[in-house]
Amino acid sequence: MILTKNTGRFAGYSILLMFILGITTLMGLDSKIIVKGDTAATINNITTYKFDFWIGIIGYLLILILDVILSLALYVIFKSTNKSYSLITSILRLVYAAVALVCLIALAFYYSNFYVNGLLIAYFFFVLHLYFLGITILITSFIPKFFGILLVAAAPFYIIMIYGHLILPTEIFNLLNTIVMGPAILAELLLGIWLIVKSKIIPSMAQ
């Protein structure tokens, strides 16, 4: 199947939109509303910042919709390279989106502990998705292997960001989180920009 140039563009813009929505809505939800391990404080914040809370919910829902679009686009892009790897990569992101959606619904009904703990499971599939996406890029011929290396390397960085607070003292976790956040986010962001810029030549390169 010959790809259309729109496939790469859809994937690239999905990544960029998720990045923008994450900064404008999701980060506010996690930093301003959610108090991990303290349901009472979280409920109080939700009551106090209702507008920010629902903006965060809507923003995260839009991100998950974009996750579905991206997973399907990535499958189409890499299908000709390795059907098995592209399918696994797509399914892992879809599973992440499905689990995260359940967590988001729970949060909408004020089950904040379910949301926080459930996302730990969801992000496990997200990290696996990044790893397989990186491997898929490394074995393909039409995307620079630099992106594959970045994504494979980003996986352990994301593990620190997601699970570090469970085993590390708060001060150390906050320091490490600041250090690893850049490389982890940069990996997907650069891939998104490349897909948009090179979308017109992906079809001929992926044949």
Give the residue ranges of DSSP H helices in 22-169.
Answer: 27-28, 39-48, 50-78, 83-108, 112-139, 145-167
Residue 4's pLDDT band (cuts 50, 70, 90): low
Answer whether residue 70 shows pLDDT above 60. Answer: yes
Answer whether residue 178 shows pLDDT above 60. Answer: yes
Whether 193 is in a domain gets the answer yes
Answer whether residue 174 shows pLDDT above 60. Answer: yes
Quote the domain boundaries for residue 102. Answer: 5-198
Whether 207 is in a domain gets the answer no
Mean pLDDT on 190-205: 77
Where is average pLDDT lowest: 32-41, 56-65, 123-132?
Answer: 32-41
Cβ distance 143 to 135 under 8 Å?
Answer: no
Closest CA to 152 of 184, 121, 176, 198: 184
Whether 112 is in a domain gets the answer yes
Cβ distance 96 to 67 under 8 Å?
Answer: yes
Answer whether residue 140 shows pLDDT above 60. Answer: yes
Cβ distance 148 to 138 under 8 Å?
Answer: yes
Q: What does the pLDDT read at residue 129?
A: 95
Whether 204 is in a domain gets the answer no
Answer whether residue 149 shows pLDDT above 80. Answer: yes
Residue 3's pLDDT band (cuts 50, 70, 90): low
Whether 168 is in a domain gets the answer yes
Q: What does the pLDDT read at residue 1?
A: 44
Q: How many CB atoms within 10 Å of residue 42?
A: 22
pTM of the complete model: 0.88
Residue-wise burial string across 59-87, b where 16 or more C-beta atoms lie within 10 A, e elsewhere? bbbebbebbbbbbbbbbbbbbbbeeebbe
Whether 27 is in a domain gets the answer yes
Closest CA to 188 of 25, 16, 24: 16
Percentage above 90 pLDDT, the chain: 49
Sign, Cα dihedral of 165, 171, 172, 177:
positive
Structurally, how many domains does the chain consist of?
Answer: 1
DSSP character at residue 141: S
Q: What does the pLDDT read at residue 123?
A: 92
Answer whether residue 161 shows pLDDT above 60. Answer: yes
Q: What does the pLDDT read at residue 201?
A: 66
| Between 46 and 174, the higher pLDDT residue | 46
pLDDT, mean over the chain: 86
